[in-house]
Amino acid sequence: MKFLGSLLPLCGLFGCISAWRDDHVPDGASVAEPTCRREVRIRASANDTEDISDDFYWGIQAANQGGTLILEKGKTYVIGKKLDLTGLEDIWVNLEGEIKVRAAILFQYTLH
């Protein structure tokens, strides 16, 4: 999935998420507020079968409205659940790692 490039503006590309909440931060996740854009990182999958969909969903929420979700180089992120991500606004994904989507999962998205 590296065809997406380094930075992929996702303004509304994937789904409906309300403003992110910081009351529950998944293990291995972080949010930093640099001078230009908030940077959000999530943990990578430990192996090719570990589903981190919930962490990915949290990361997208945390990066919504002016942030960047960073998927680190050399790491793999396995998405094994269907995610409804409509309604995103001003979010970038810095995809240097690899996203693996299980074959039975379909992303729902709307282009605006």
- For residue range 60-109, list pLDDT tens digits in order: 999 999 999 999 999 999 999 988 888 899 999 999 999 999 865 555 55
The predicted-structure confidence for 40-54, as pLDDT tens digits, reads as follows 999 999 999 999 999
Terminal alpha carbon distance of the chain: 22
Q: pTM here?
A: 0.64
Total domain count, the chain: 1
Q: Where are the beta strands (DSSP E) in the chain?
A: 7-9, 30-32, 38-41, 67-71, 76-79, 91-95, 98-101
Q: Which domain holds residue 36?
A: 2-101
Between CA 93 and CA 13 the distance in angstroms is 11
Location of structure tokens 């995103």: 88
Task: Judge whether 107 lies within some domain.
Answer: no
